[in-house]
Amino acid sequence: MEDILKKVLYTGVGLVSLTAEKLQQAVDELVEKEKMTEEEGKKVVEEFQQESQSRKQELEERLKSFIKNLSDNLSFTSKKDWEELVKRVEALEAQVNAHHEVKEVVKKHTPKTNGTKKS
C-alpha cells in the first residue's frame, strides 16, 4: 500500500517537474518577445519552484499522516514487530531442532533391551 502511495507522490512530483519545464519555456518566450524582463521571468520561475517545494513537503506530511492513521486503524504489523516475530520463530525452530538432535544422540547411545527386564 505504501508503495502505491509513494508512486502517486512521485507521479505528482514528475508532473510538477514537467509543469516547471513548460513554465520556463513560456517565460523564455515572453522574455524573447519582450513582454517580460529576464528578471521578472526568473522571479516567476523561482516563486513557482518554491511554492512547488512547499506543496511537495505538505503533501508528503499529509501522506505520512494518512499512512500512519491507516496502519493504526487497520492494525497492520509494523516492520519492526514483524522482524522481532521472525527472530523469535527462528530461535524457537533452533531450540526444537537442537532438542530433536539431542533425542537422536540419546537414542543412538541408549542400549536396546529386548523387552526383558534385568533384575
Q: Is 1 helix (H, G, I), strand (E, B) or coil?
A: coil
The DSSP H or E segment spanning 34 is: none
The answer as to whether 119 is a domain residue is: no
Q: Do 72 and 91 share a domain, yes or no?
A: no
Nearby residues of 52 by Cβ (< 8 Å), 6 or more positions away: 16, 19, 20
pTM: 0.43
Cβ count near 3 (within 10 Å): 7
CB 38 within 8 A of CB 31: yes
Q: Do 51 and 86 share a domain, yes or no?
A: no
Instruction: Give the pLDDT confidence of 59-71 residue by residue, as tens digits.
Output: 888 888 887 887 7
Q: Do 20 and 63 share a domain, yes or no?
A: yes
The answer as to whether 10 is a domain residue is: yes
Structural domain range at position 102: 77-110
Q: Do 36 and 72 share a domain, yes or no?
A: yes
Q: Do 46 and 88 share a domain, yes or no?
A: no
Q: How far apart are CA 28 and CA 72, in angstroms?
A: 49
Residue 35 grid coordinates: 513582454
Instruction: Give the pLDDT confidence of 59-113 residue by residue, as tens digits.
Output: 888 888 887 887 778 777 788 999 999 999 999 999 999 988 888 888 888 887 7
The answer as to whether 118 is a domain residue is: no
Q: Do 105 and 58 share a domain, yes or no?
A: no
Q: Do 36 and 65 share a domain, yes or no?
A: yes
